[in-house]
Amino acid sequence: MAKRLGKFTINLTNKPKIISAYSVVGKKEGEGAFKNYFDHILKDDRFGEKSYEGSEKRLLEFAITNAIDRSKKSFDEIDLLIAGDLMNQITSSSFSARALNLPFLGLYSACSTMTEGLAVGACLTDSNCINTCAVATASHFSTVEKQFRFPLELGNQRPPVAQWTVTGAGCSVLSNTQTTNYLARVERVTFGKVVDFGVKDVNNMGAAMAPSAQFSIVSHFEDTKTTPDDYDLILTGDLGKLGSEILRDLMEHAGYKLGANYADCGQMIYSNDQRTFMGGSGAGCSASVFNSYMIKKLAKQELKKVLFVATGALLSPTSSQQGNSVPGIAHAVYLTAGSNESLKTGEN
């Protein structure tokens, strides 16, 4: 039985295991900081599809299929696919679930889907409601930009606070299996609240999401009586350069100093010469970084205690056009390192 810790945190009893992971990214992401860690880099972001929506769906399906293959589980042993994406009505996820013929739990949490999914999947596997699930999300530059901002063909100039939507997908397979070969364990989860500081600039996602990251991280610290020093890494999703600076400020106001053990997937995914301004964003940003570099570091025990906090901006084109501000959400998942056996075999 899981136990509540403090007001917002769930302490899992059996610490479900991530038994496999897979990441796939587009060409631009494959030239960035993590190029040696992604499992697959596309040569062409169309991925052989006629529409970009088709490409995004194929990206997601590709990540899920490969993660399940790596898990050595058959598709029949996957009790649930937990997935969501940024497309209207999460069609990338639904259509992937259709193609893969898996029981499906559809989520929407914008760019925080990876940790929302890991949190739900960890709770469900911890309690034996399900034994094994695949948790996945994706985004594609060419689907997201046209849906949320402008047609690509317009060639709009991007403002300096803009982030670049990551073309990429990631999938983790979570299980309550007894295996001693695993990449990481999920120990605790904190579901976030929707926080809104009134940011109305749909290009400035980092500023819109930073307050929700602060809420979830501070809640997690308070509930678990920990401080930043208790973690090897505190990793946010896609706050980008500006958003992660804002988060540092907000955390300092709350009495916590984030040091060198704080990083953000969006800030890191592109190299400085790639002219993406504030860095990467999109559900595929934290999903691809977590399921490549981060999971490998956890499996190798080079990171032992990671608080992973993907962040999402809960706007829609309609909500923005009607003058609403951009609310943010962040879900926190506390992970510990992989097993010694995984360290030795290094299969993932």
Binding mask 202-231 toward a second copy (x if CB under 8 A, else -) reads ------------------------------
Residue with tokens 């991925």: 47
Nearest approach, Cβ of 241 to a second copy (angstroms)?
25
Q: Is 108 in the site for a second copy (CB under 8 A)?
A: yes
Interface of this chain with a second copy, residues 45 to 74, rule: CB under 8 A: 51, 53-54
Q: Is 282 in the site for a second copy (CB under 8 A)?
A: no
Calculate Rg over the CA atoms of the chain. 18
Applying CB under 8 A, among 26, 84, 243, 279 the residue interacting with a second copy is: 84
Helix axes 91-100, 52-71, angle to 10 degrees: 50
For residues 149 and 260, is the Cβ–Cβ distance under 8 A?
no
* First CA to last CA distance, the chain: 30
Q: What angle do CA 98, 43, 50 make, to 5 degrees?
A: 45
Applying CB under 8 A, among 40, 106, 203, 232 the residue interacting with a second copy is: 106
Q: Is 173 in the site for a second copy (CB under 8 A)?
A: no
Give the integer Cα–Cα distance in Å for 155 and 140: 17
Give the integer Cα–Cα distance in Å for 318 and 324: 9
Considering the complex, state which of residue 58 and residue 248 has its C-beta at the smaller distance from a second copy. Answer: 58
Give the integer Cα–Cα distance in Å for 155 and 171: 32
Applying CB under 8 A, among 39, 56, 61, 79 the residue interacting with a second copy is: 79
Interface of this chain with a second copy, residues 322 to 341, rule: CB under 8 A: 322, 324, 327, 329
Report the SS3 class of residue 336.
strand
Whole-angstrom CA distances from 119 to 31, 65, 69, 329 are 30, 21, 22, 14
Nearest approach, Cβ of 207 to a second copy (angstroms)?
16
Give the integer Cα–Cα distance in Å for 335 and 348: 17
Applying CB under 8 A, among 27, 44, 72, 101 the residue interacting with a second copy is: 101
Nearest approach, Cβ of 98 to a second copy (angstroms)?
4
Considering the complex, state which of residue 86 and residue 135 has its C-beta at the smaller distance from a second copy. Answer: 86
Q: DSSP character for 159? A: P
Residues that bind a second copy (CB under 8 A): 1-4, 8, 10, 12, 51, 53-54, 79-80, 84, 86-91, 94-95, 97-98, 101-110, 116, 120, 123-124, 126-131, 191-196, 314-319, 322, 324, 327, 329
